[in-house]
Amino acid sequence: MKPAILIAVMAAVTMLLRFLPFLIFRKQTPPYITYLGKVLPSAIIGMLVIYCLKDVNLTTHPHGLPELIAAACVVGLQVWKRNTLLSILAGTAVYMILVQFAF
């Protein structure tokens, strides 16, 4: 019974966070919020990049090298081909090869 309740709590809180802004600013969106809506997307993507890399340890072996090389591949491919799926698949493959065989 307990796990089901905990899952319900997680679902309810997550839903609350997703719906709350839509409920609060239902009638009219203040200009400040509209402004945030314009600038936040690229800022949050930047935040998520760091969030994904938060556990990379630069002081011990392999000093974040697999992440750095794979990330460079993703950026390079994206600039070159502009194909998101290709960049992701290639970058992930490079990373898997690096952590399994190179480091």
Q: List residues near another protein by CB under 8 A.
A: 2-3, 5-11, 13-15, 17-22, 25, 29, 32-55, 66-67, 70-71, 74-75, 78-79, 82, 84-85, 87-89, 91-92, 95-96, 98-100
* CA atoms lying within 13 Å on the CB side of residue 57: 4
Task: Decide: helix, strand or coil at residue 10.
Answer: helix
Nearest distance, CB of residue 19 and another protein, angstroms: 6
Calculate the alpha carbon distances from 2 to 6, 14, 29, 42 in Å: 6, 18, 40, 39
Nearest distance, CB of residue 57 and another protein, angstroms: 10
Nearest distance, CB of residue 6 and another protein, angstroms: 5
Task: Decide: helix, strand or coil at residue 2.
Answer: helix
